[in-house]
Amino acid sequence: MAAMGMYSLLGIGALIVVLLILRFWPEKQVVTEAVSEPESEPPRNPIGTAATIGQRQLQQDLTGSALGDDGGLLLLADGRGQAGKIAAKLAVDTCLDLYQECQAMEKPKYYFRKAFQAANHTILSVLDDGRGSTCLAAAIIERSRLYYALVGNSRIALFREGDLVPVTEGQTIDILAQHRYQQGRISKEQALKLLHERRLYNFVGQDGFHDIEFFSEPIELQPGDVVVIMSDGVTETAPWRKIEDCLCLDVTPQEKAQRIIALVEASKHEDKDNASVILYDIYDPVAKAAEKKKGNKKKGSMNLEKIKQRLSDRLCV
């Protein structure tokens, strides 16, 4: 009986030990690893700009820009004459000052007309005796649409799917001759004689200024497009095909601009002028990835096709 009592006590003691262990045993903690969402790509500046002085003693090209929620403004002024640098700065500053005041996004043609006229007036007020003038190119990108205006011989172009298409003609004697021939105002022989005359007939900073080359219709932009403005120091020096190669690269807008200017600097062209470029990259990583995955060809812009046809017709003069 004594043995049985001892065994009972031992059994009760063991049970108590087990209960105590169970009571104070730490609960199993379920560790859930937080699944980190892929980091979104940081916003990048869509604008790139670069310039070179060429073989001139003074840099008279100047670019300017302003960014908004749905686009922005690009400016390029190519100064001419003794005080061309001052004229270019006055033009760019005037356009930037009026950008918000004129509600440029809602009324782009009104803004271009007012800004260019104001720039002309300012230059004439500050610089007397025609000491300085400037070519002036401007582009507004707003809600995937391109609006543009030009005075002079800089070039506004749109890069799409490997092709860089000029959307402006320029205001030089050869272009003027072609227009007058198409209007029936001069003969074909007269037009042909002027085909190699690249002298400017219009610029900002002259009495009687009024002629601005405007967009006829806004151009619908697509992901991957690049709006490019170049001074004549670029277009007359760098091969067009190589400029397109630079724009094809998967690099930042700033690197694209620098590579274009590097073409000018590497050129063996004699008497290189100031050269400047400013561009706006319509970059959409989501749309770009979807487009690459589907392998679909983008729809063309009807207005861009009209511009291509107009350029083709002009070459047939």
- What pTM was computed for the model? 0.77
Q: Quick one: pLDDT band at residue 305, thresholds 50, 70, 90?
A: low
Report the percent of the chain where pLDDT is more than 90.
54
Residue 151 in any domain: the answer is: yes
pLDDT of amino acid 313: 44
Residue 12 in any domain: the answer is: no
The residue segments making up the domain with residue 70 are 47-315
- What are the E-state strand segments in the chain? 47-52, 61-68, 71-80, 133-142, 145-151, 155-160, 163-166, 213-214, 219-220, 226-230, 275-281
Residue 8 in any domain: the answer is: no
Cα–Cα distances (Å) from 227 to 169, 236, 294, in that order, read 15, 19, 25
* Contact residues for 193 (Cβ-Cβ < 8 A; gap 6+): none
Q: Which tokens in the block code for residue 104?
A: 């440029």
Residue 42 in any domain: the answer is: no
What is the CATH number for 130? Answer: 3.60.40.10
CA quadruple 264, 266, 272, 275: dihedral, nearest 10: 20
Most confident segment among 33-37, 54-58, 105-109, 175-179: 54-58
Residue 149 in any domain: the answer is: yes
Q: How many domains does the chain have?
A: 1
pLDDT of amino acid 100: 78
Per-residue pLDDT of 178-198, as tens digits, reads: 655 566 766 666 556 545 666
Q: Does residue 287 surpass a pLDDT of 60? A: no
Nearest Cα to Cα of residue 166 among 153, 182, 180:
153
Nearest Cα to Cα of residue 307 among 195, 176, 155, 144:
155
pLDDT of amino acid 28: 47
Residue 13 in any domain: the answer is: no
Q: Does residue 111 surpass a pLDDT of 60? A: yes
